Structure 1
Amino acid sequence: MDDLPLADLDAFTAVAAARSFRAAAKKRGVSASALSEALRRLEAKLQVRLLNRTTRSVTLTEAGTRLLDRLTPALGEIAGALDQVNEMRDSPAGTLKLNVPTIVAREILPPIIGRFLREHPAISLEVTAEDGFVDVLAAGFDAGVRYEERVERDMIAIPIGPSRQRYVTAAAPDYLERRGVPGHPRDLLEHACIRHRFASGFSLPWEFGEGEAALTIAPPAVVTANTIDLELGAAIDGLGVIRTFEEFIAPAVAAGRLVLILEAWTTSFSGPLLYYASRKHMPAALRAFVDFLKREQRRDHR
Structure 2
Amino acid sequence: MKREDLNDMLWFLAVAEERSFTRAAAKLGTSQSTISHTIKQLEARMGLRLLTRTTRNVSPTEAGERLIRSLAPRIEELETEIDELMEIRDKPSGTVRITLSDYAQESVVWPKLRPVLRHYPDVRVELNMDNGFRNIVEEKFDAGVRLGESVDKDMIAVRIGPDWRLVAVASPEYLTAHATPRAPQDLVGHDCINHRQASAGGLYAWEFGKNGREVRVRVDGQLIFNTSYAMIDAAVSGYGIAYVPESLVVDEIASGRLVQILDDWSPMFPGYYLYYPSRRQNSPAFKVIVDALKV
Looking at structure 1, the residues matched to 100 and 147 of structure 2 have their Cα atoms a distance apart, in angstroms, of 10
Looking at structure 2, the residues matched to 119 and 133 of structure 1 have their Cα atoms a distance apart, in angstroms, of 31
CA contact (8 A) 1:87 1:284 kept: no
Q: Decide whether aligned partners of structure 1 residues 211 and 135 sit closer, same or farther in structure 2, where only a CA change above 3 A counts.
A: farther
Normalising by structure 1, report the TM-score: 0.65
Query: Secondary structure of the equivalent of 2:92?
Result: coil
Count of residue pairs brought into register by the alignment: 210
Letter of the 1:263 counterpart: D
Measure how far apart 1:175 and its partner are: 0.5
Measure how far apart 1:229 and its partner are: 3.1
Matched, 1:191 2:193: no
1:111 aligned residue = 111
2:19 aligned residue = none
CA contact (8 A) 1:86 1:93 kept: no
Normalising by structure 2, report the TM-score: 0.67
Looking at structure 2, the residues matched to 86 and 140 of structure 1 have their Cα atoms a distance apart, in angstroms, of 26
Letter of the 1:287 counterpart: K
Percentage identity across aligned positions? 35
1:64 aligned residue = none
Choose 121-130 or 200-209, whichever is displaced more.
200-209
Letter of the 1:115 counterpart: P
In the alignment, structure 1 segments of 5+ residues that lack a partner are 1-83, 298-302
Which aligned segments of 4 or more residues in structure 1 are displaced greater than 4 angstroms? 84-87
Measure how far apart 1:280 and its partner are: 5.7
Measure how far apart 1:179 and its partner are: 0.2
1:1-302 → structure 2 map (5 Å cutoff): 88-89=89-90, 91-161=91-161, 163-200=162-199, 201-209=201-209, 212-279=212-279, 281-294=281-294, 297=295
2:4 aligned residue = none
Query: Secondary structure of the equivalent of 2:188?
Result: helix
Based on CA coordinates, which of the two structures has the bigger radius of gyration? 2
CA contact (8 A) 2:196 2:204 kept: yes
Looking at structure 2, the residues matched to 85 and 217 of structure 1 have their Cα atoms a distance apart, in angstroms, of 58
Query: Secondary structure of the equivalent of 2:166?
Result: strand
Letter of the 1:154 counterpart: D
Measure how far apart 1:287 and its partner are: 1.9
